[in-house]
Amino acid sequence: MLRLFSLGFLLACLAACGGGSSGGGTADLPDPLPVTQSPGGIWVGVDSAGAPVSLYIAETGKLRATLHPDSGLFVAFGAGSVDVTSSAVVSGSFELRGPLLPVPGAGNEDLGCSVAGSLQERQTLIVDLVCSDSNGVVYDEALTLAYESVSYERTSSLADIEGDYTLVFQRDTNSLNITGDGMLSGMYHNGANCAINGMASIIDANYTLIDVSWTMSGCTDLRGIYEGVEMSGFAIANPAPTGPPDSYYFLLTGQTEDGLYAVSVLYEPT
């Protein structure tokens, strides 16, 4: 809009001044602004130990990660964000926690991770991923991650995710209801034994990642660390080939008194 206005203003001035020079020259226009590439995608690869690495990045830059800093014994879950400059330079950070269930004691410290590299939009993400604890670096990998177009480029809508769901285990005590306007409620009985209430919302209808957040309350677990914990992350439609039709993979994280806690479960329709 600014460029069009400037050009129109210039032409009006030339007309008022008798049309400019007889040579018919044109005014210099500013170069177009570079377009910043989107980091959005499900990015997958393996590290030097052969362990899988996955970065789930929304169009907004919000990030959830799964990787194996212990060379494959346990999956660890991360939460953070990345930015992309106009020259396709990627930078960001996230907090990493593993294994899935928080266990008090030594060796279970959360890690701080940095992401730095370059992007070819919807093609390749090349990053140095470094994670450290208070004793120093524990994971340092140069990764080339591939873009999962089939998984990521599924459209998303609240109409599609609306419904009743359960988990494949403890079906009687795990429930999830999502309404047409995205309101979410149910019971989560998997380490944390709590009622959940929250919201699902569309990030970009052209892509599969759905923003999800919920708060835990009325918890009956013996440890008592989940009451009031706010979880956030993504729901991902039918993660083929493992997911049955109309299922959703939920990858959420939140802070407990023990540190980062992750929910990584497949919800199936009831």
Domain ranges of the chain: 41-152, 158-269
Lowest pLDDT segment from 72-76, 91-95, 103-107: 103-107
More confidently predicted of 1 and 31: 31
- Residue 21 CA to residue 227 CA, distance in Å, equals 76
Instruction: Give me the pLDDT at residue 129, please.
Output: 98
Pick from 3, 131, 17: nearest CA to 71: 131
Report residue 220: phi and psi, to 5°.
-120, 5
The helix or strand, by DSSP H or E, that contains position 229, with its residue range, turns out to be none
What does residue 240 show for φ and ψ, rounded to 5 degrees? -55, 150
Higher pLDDT, 108 or 266: 266
- What average pLDDT does range 128-154 have in this prediction? 95
Give the H/E segment covering residue 233. strand 230-237
* CATH number for the domain running over 41-152: 2.40.128
User: What's the pTM value of the predicted model, to 2 decimals?
Assistant: 0.85
pLDDT score at 222:
83
CA 96 – CA 94 distance, rounded (Å): 6
Rounded to the nearest integer, the mean pLDDT of the chain is 86
Of 23-27, 172-176, 180-184, 260-264, the poorest mean pLDDT is in: 23-27
Instruction: Report how far residue 212's alpha carbon sits from residue 234's, in angstroms, rounded to the nearest whole number.
Output: 5
pLDDT digits (tens, 9 = 90+) for 21-70: 334 444 566 666 678 899 999 999 999 999 999 999 999 999 999 999 87
